[in-house]
Amino acid sequence: MSNLVVIEFDDQVAAFQMRAELAKMEKEYLLEMDDIVVVTKNEKGKVKLHQAYNLTTAGAASGSVWGLLIGMIFLNPLLGVAVGAGAGALSGKLHDIGINDKFMKELAADLTNGTSALFILVRHATGEKVFERLKQKGFKGKVLQTSLNVDTEDELRKVLES
């Protein structure tokens, strides 16, 4: 079962920096994430989601391959690629995995203009090592919401809010 963690930052850069650091930690097998999204709110109050995975592009690539195979069966591979890419892109755009986009936008509506938030869906983490790395890097933010147990959430708050 995955845990949700939402952290608010005072600017729009810190969330991207923390996402990059968490991605490094994932490559080092210190944690395993199902999804990680940076949400920014500009000075005019517009909320934008910055997904780590572009489902539209992935869908188009997958659809192209399937379209090519089907097109070869019907002796028109180029048409198959075009139709497959279009169908795959549409499917990717409409398919939402991980953290619900509507939920993120609703929570981000309460952010202060010019700030950002990091939404993380964590499947597994080596808590002590992850917290130590975050402390070393000096990340500072406010924990908005988690589904962590009380002790782990308190430890995260100590690392980020002190």
CA atoms within 13 A on the CB side of 127: 12
Query: What pLDDT, in 10s, does the model give residues 58-107?
Result: 444 555 555 555 555 665 555 555 555 555 554 544 444 578 889 999 99
Query: What pLDDT, in 10s, does the model give residues 22-45?
Result: 999 999 999 998 889 999 999 999
In angstroms, the CA 13 to CA 17 distance is 6
pTM exceeding the 0.75 threshold for the entire prediction:
no
Q: What is the pLDDT of residue 2?
A: 85
Distances (CA, A) of 28 to 91, 139, 159, 162: 32, 19, 20, 26
Query: What pLDDT, in 10s, does the model give residues 97-152?
Result: 578 889 999 999 999 999 999 999 999 998 789 999 999 999 999 999 998 999 99
In angstroms, the CA 36 to CA 6 distance is 10
In angstroms, the CA 41 to CA 74 distance is 49
Q: What is the pLDDT of residue 161?
A: 92
